[in-house]
């Protein structure tokens, strides 16, 4: 679901960071130096405002020399290094942290092997009107997912061809079928989603990349990056020509904690706990712990952490449907694992998933919510007149349609032909989450031709999507204490929470945002191992 933190050799951890590709070393001339005085940004007469930077033309992603950007060569390095120093101290003091892969016990034992989360040194400029639109549609998407989740037939039918060729999707659908057979009704439904967008430079349209309904990452750390940037701009804003007040408030961690707490209240057993389903090794654990800490401190709700294998071992379903794990009653199951095939190395993990699904515990997400967030369903919802099946309000439908990029099934022969001719304008996506699975450029053409040659049903494992080309901007990416300057593109994520008990909608809201910035030369994961960082928004006038 997020390109950002996926390790190139260990697939599908939503909490992993790319290592810096060797080819990027040419940009490493801003290596962190700690001997500068940080008393005041004015302490050196050499520091000049960045707004003096020269504007020049650079090559865009498509190779056309048309866009003015700030020239790196004019940026005062001393100022950058002071900011990096302050930002690193701030991150350490305020828990903007992730596990350090180079330390053996990191990712398993909290407090062992920690590094700052990778971040952009300054927030990315983003037009206010597009930001508002993304926030405005969040509750509509929440409602849409809820309605789609209730239409078992739609989910099964839309995914029926995919089921034949994709074992993972097939296993999820099997659990879903079992629930339909049992006539299992989820009366209390909790969704903690994140809808991701890129702003297409040419059309100036904010287009949805995907909607994450399982394990939406960074509700904890995203708020901290906004705070970090606000703090940096308070000190250095004058020299950068940036005003800290233009960073919008961001409170996902508390909003998500509130949603989990309210779901727990609806379950209505003060002795029950929230269970976070985690991967056995989780380098993004501090993001999760932030949420659990807010849950405990603000709502006095206890959260426990269990892997799917542990749930299989310790889990028990009482005749009335109560889920016990290690003897504790579970009110809410919050998944931060279970979205990728690698999360299910044996039958034990699938047994655990089924056990939880059969239980009375509130699942975030339920199997229906999980399936409603798949890429195939995203593509089906973008077909003409499909939204109308789930939503009544015409204005809402128009708003959502505006955010939809071109999405196609591979049985659309005209589109496949066009994608073979112009593969650079498309992204080919399998039914996978966690980053690094998509196909770009010439590989799109090769794969489409291969599928045509083979004539199997494997084409049902993929969808085609219009490639979005966001604006490329110069940025400073800070990773492992080192600042790198590069050209980058950004992706906005808007969090949404939805809680419902039977007919009563208790929460339906947008809950904050996440900005992720990656070097523009990298697609995501895949062959060219790129890297990305957490970022925040600097609101600017409408486009």
Residues in touch with Mg ion (CB under 5 A): 1-2, 210
Of residues 475-534, those binding ligand ADP (CB under 6 A): 491, 524
State in angstroms the smallest separation of the CB of 212 from ligand ADP: 7
State in angstroms the smallest separation of the CB of 148 from ligand ADP: 18
Report the alpha-carbon distance of residue 335 to residue 486 in Å, rounded.
34
Report the sign of the C-alpha dihedral through residues 48, 49, 51, 57, in that order: positive
Which of 250, 244, 249 has its CA nearest to residue 230?
A: 244
State in angstroms the smallest separation of the CB of 33 from ligand ADP: 32
Of residues 410-429, those binding ligand ADP (CB under 6 A): 427, 429
Residue 12: active-site member: no
Active-site residue among 230, 429, 432, 500? 429
Q: Across 502-531, where does the E strand assignment appear?
A: 504-519
Binding residue for ligand ADP, selected from 433, 459, 486, 535, defined by CB under 6 A: 433
Decide whether 143 or 196 has the Cβ nearer to ligand ADP: 196
State in angstroms the smallest separation of the CB of 105 from ligand ADP: 28
Query: 408 forms bridges with which residues in the sheet?
Result: 464
Residue 43: active-site member: no
Residue 422: active-site member: no
Which of 249, 200, 246, 197 has its CA nearest to residue 223?
A: 249
Number of other residues whose CB lies within 10 A of the CB of residue 316: 12
Report the alpha-carbon distance of residue 439 to residue 528 in Å, rounded.
11
Residue 508: active-site member: no
Q: How many residues does the chain have?
A: 543
**Which of Mg ion, ligand ADP, none does residue 427 bind (CB under 5 to 8 Å by kind)?**
ligand ADP
Report the alpha-carbon distance of residue 1 to residue 253 in Å, rounded.
19
Active-site residue among 12, 13, 195, 212? 212
Here's the x/- map for ligand ADP, 190-209, by CB under 6 A: it reads as ------x-x----------x
C-beta separation of 81 from 482 below 8 A = no
**Which of Mg ion, ligand ADP, none does residue 465 bind (CB under 5 to 8 Å by kind)?**
ligand ADP
Which of 190, 481, 198 has its CA nearest to residue 362?
A: 190
Residue 210: active-site member: yes
Q: How far is CA 121 from the centre of its chain?
A: 20
Residue 282: active-site member: no
Active-site residue among 210, 282, 491, 524? 210
Joined together, the tokens standing for residue 501 give: 């008990």
**Which of Mg ion, ligand ADP, none does residue 405 bind (CB under 5 to 8 Å by kind)?**
ligand ADP
State in angstroms the smallest separation of the CB of 194 from Mg ion: 9
Three-state SS at 132: helix
Considering the rule CB under 6 A, would residue 158 count as an interface residue with ligand ADP?
A: no
C-beta separation of 463 from 169 below 8 A = no
Binding residue for ligand ADP, selected from 41, 107, 113, 435, defined by CB under 6 A: 435
Catalytic residues: 194, 210, 212, 217, 375, 429, 433-434, 516
């Amino acid at each position: 679901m997020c390109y950002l933190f996926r390790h190139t050799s260990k697939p599908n951890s939503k909490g992993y960071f790319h290592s810096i590709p060797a080819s990027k070393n040419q940009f490493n001339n801003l290596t962190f130096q700690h001997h500068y005085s940080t008393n005041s940004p004015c302490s050196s007469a050499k520091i000049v405002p960045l707004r003096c930077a020269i504007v020049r033309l650079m090559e865009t992603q498509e190779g056309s020399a048309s866009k003015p950007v700030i020239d790196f060569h004019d940026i005062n390095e001393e100022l950058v290094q002071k900011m990096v120093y302050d930002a690193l101290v701030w991150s350490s003091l305020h828990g903007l942290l992730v596990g350090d892969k180079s330390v053996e016990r990191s990712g398993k034992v909290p407090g062992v092997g920690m590094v700052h989360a990778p971040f952009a040194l300054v927030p990315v400029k983003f037009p206010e009107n597009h930001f508002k639109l993304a926030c405005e549609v969040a509750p509509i998407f929440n409602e849409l997912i809820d309605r789609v989740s209730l239409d078992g037939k739609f989910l099964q039918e839309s995914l029926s061809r995919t089921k034949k060729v994709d074992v993972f999707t097939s296993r999820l659908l099997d659990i879903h079928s079992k629930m339909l057979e049992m006539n299992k009704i989820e009366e209390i439904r909790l969704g903690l989603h994140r809808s991701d967008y890129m702003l297409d430079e040419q059309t100036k349209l904010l287009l949805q990349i995907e909607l994450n309904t399982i394990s939406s990452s960074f509700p904890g750390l995203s708020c901290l990056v906004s705070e970090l940037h606000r703090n940096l701009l308070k000190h250095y804003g004058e020299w950068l020509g940036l005003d800290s007040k233009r960073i919008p408030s961001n409170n996902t961690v508390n909003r998500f904690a509130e949603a989990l707490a309210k779901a727990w209240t609806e379950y209505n057993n003060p002795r029950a706990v929230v269970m976070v389903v985690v991967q056995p090794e989780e380098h993004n654990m501090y993001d999760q712990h932030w949420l659990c800490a807010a849950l405990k401190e603000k709502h006095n709700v206890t959260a426990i952490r269990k892997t799917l294998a542990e749930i299989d071992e310790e889990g028990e379903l009482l005749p009335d449907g109560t889920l016990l794990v290690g003897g504790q009653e579970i009110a809410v199951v919050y998944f931060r694992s279970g979205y990728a095939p690698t999360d299910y190395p044996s039958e034990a993990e699938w047994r655990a998933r089924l056990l939880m699904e059969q239980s009375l515990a509130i699942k975030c997400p339920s199997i229906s919510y999980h399936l409603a967030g798949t890429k195939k369903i995203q593509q089906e919802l973008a077909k003409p007149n499909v939204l109308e099946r789930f939503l009544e309000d015409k204005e809402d439908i128009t708003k959502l349609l505006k955010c939809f990029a071109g999405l196609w099934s591979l049985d659309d022969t005209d589109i496949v032909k066009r994608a073979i001719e112009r593969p650079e304008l498309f992204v080919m996506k399998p039914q996978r989450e966690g980053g690094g699975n998509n196909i770009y450029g010439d590989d799109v053409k090769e794969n489409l031709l291969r599928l045509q040659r083979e004539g199997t049903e494997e084409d049902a494992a993929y969808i085609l999507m219009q490639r979005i080309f966001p604006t490329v901007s110069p940025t400073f990416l800070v990773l492992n204490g080192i600042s790198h300057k590069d050209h980058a593109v950004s992706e906005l994520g808007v969090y949404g929470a939805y809680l419902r008990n039977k007919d009563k909608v208790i929460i339906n809201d947008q809950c904050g945002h996440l900005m992720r910035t990656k070097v523009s030369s990298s697609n995501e994961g895949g062959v060219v191992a790129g890297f990305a960082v957490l970022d925040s928004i600097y609101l600017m006038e409408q486009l």
